[in-house]
Amino acid sequence: MAAGALGGLAATWLMGYAHTGFDKLAEHLSPPDGGSSPAKPQRTRPPASDEEQANVKAAVAIAEAAGSELSPDEKQRAGSLVHYAFGTAVGTLYGAVAEHSSLPRAGAGTAFGAVLWLLSDEVAVPVLKLAKPPREYSFEVHASALAAHLVYGVTTELLRRGLRAAIAG
């Protein structure tokens, strides 16, 4: 579990950079008009990444439930804290499950990253009203988020595996 937690923590950090890079690549590859047409509204990501906004919304909800109000600076820091706490917690769970099943380790962690993307970004975040429904975002937004989660999954698995080998050997 500890190897998964450390892997998840490091993977969360790397995922943030990967997400930014994939977003920039998607912007570069998108048509100048954003792929919109008069018959179809443009579907783009808000200025900050959807995941960051969801984390900030979650942090605000947690603070409000505790009877506190966050300043704008505190919102960003608390959003980061939620992001890292979630990534570490999921890595911990992954570490425990990966010890007993090869299924989540499939594809060197890509299966884990893809399932995490599907369950968190595409299901839980919209259901919790932390983002708009998935259909309101472009393919590029979904592809960027999926790619970032694949980075998270692979990083978590490789670090978990490396830490386990170091401990065992």
The percentage of the chain sitting over the pLDDT mark of 90, rounded to a whole number, equals 36
Task: Count the Cβ atoms, other than its own, within 10 Å of residue 128.
Answer: 13
Q: Is the pLDDT of residue 76 over 60?
A: yes
pTM listed for this prediction:
0.78
Residue appearing with tokens 């988020």: 145
- CA distances to 22, 26, 71, 88, 149 from 85, in Å: 23, 28, 20, 5, 16
